[in-house]
Amino acid sequence: MRAEAVERLKEKLIARLRELGPAGATKAKLGVKGPKGNAAQALQELLSDRSAANIGSAARPCYVLSEHFNPLERACERIERNMGSQKPVRSDTLDLWVKRELEKGCQGEVRNKIDEAIDWLVKEKRLLRLRRGRSFYWASAERLKTLLVSEKPLTGDAGDESARPSLAPAAGPVDHRLVQAAYQRLRSRLGYRNVEISELQRELGIPMDALKLHLLEESRDGRAVLSLGDWSVSSDAIRAGAIELFGQPHLLVRFDTE
């Protein structure tokens, strides 16, 4: 009789989970009131034969049918939801996020997939990875595209914003080898690793907007490091090379080629 009761409860649990779909349910919603009894045994058997799975954590379980057990997809959705939940402080800024902000609200198997989800979103060009020193930050690629299309400057809190250049769409792709060669020439000639972005643009002879987008991509992939420089003593020509990140204009770039 007990075996029959457990089998009937398994059917009811499956029906309930199918009704709830991807949202899943807690033990309370499934009517499992304790760690023992027929209902608890029925749920455990569903988990053991992989008819159902816990998409949450051990402390805060959330049960779904196996067809809805997709922690990587859920991690990606949570990251993009977190980034979209906060409106930009200003309409012309690019918000940057650290990992703990991206994974907010994730738990259990979904949290375990955060690193993989970030890598996948970067690969799909839905996230930009930016490097500052030894730290990495992430930004919305869609947000950056919106700023570029609107031709608004990526501004911060430092300096005279009226003198900041806009970052318009680039005319075409930039040859990485040409940029590296120009950077090495400047580094040899000037004697230091951090070179002015404006000087690199003059050395290359390409549109400034194209170079800026290329440097953002290089920074995202960890090959370039953008540095502040001294805005207060820089000429308008040097300021024209500024890339706005972290609320400040970055005038210098260094390639980690060694």
Is the model's pLDDT at 168 over the cut of 70? no
Is the model's pLDDT at 165 over the cut of 70? no
- Has this prediction a pTM greater than 0.85? no
Q: Where are the domains of the chain?
A: 2-68, 71-144, 153-255
CATH of domain 2-68: 1.10.10
Strands 224-227, 252-255: parallel, antiparallel or unpaired by DSSP?
Answer: antiparallel
**Model pLDDT, residue 197:** 92
Residue with tokens 């005319």: 171
CA 142 to CA 128: how far, in whole Å?
9
Sign of the Cα pseudo-torsion (147, 148, 153, 156, in order):
positive
Is the model's pLDDT at 47 over the cut of 60? yes
Is the model's pLDDT at 151 over the cut of 50? no
Is residue 132 within 8 A of residue 226, CB to CB? The reply is yes
**Model pLDDT, residue 116:** 92
Give the tens place of pLDDT for each residue, 216-252: 878 877 788 888 888 888 888 888 888 877 667 888 9
**Model pLDDT, residue 157:** 36
Class at the top of the CATH hierarchy for domain 71-144:
mainly alpha
Report which of residues 171 and 176 the model is more confident about. 176
Q: What are the phi and psi torsion angles at 68 (to 5°)?
A: -105, 10
Helix, strand, or coil (residue 195): strand
Assign residue 55 a region: left if phi > 0, alpha if psi is -120 to 50, beta otherwise? alpha
**Residue 171 binned pLDDT confidence (cut-offs 50, 70, 90):** very low
Give the tens place of pLDDT for each residue, 14-29: 999 999 899 888 888 8
Give the tens place of pLDDT for each residue, 106-139: 888 899 999 999 988 888 888 888 776 677 788 8
153-255: CATH topology is Arc Repressor Mutant, subunit A (1.10.10)
**Model pLDDT, residue 152:** 44
What DSSP character marks residue 193?
A: S
Same fold: 71-144 with 153-255: yes
- Give the range among 115-119, 149-153, 174-178 with minimum mean pLDDT: 149-153
Residues in the chain: 258
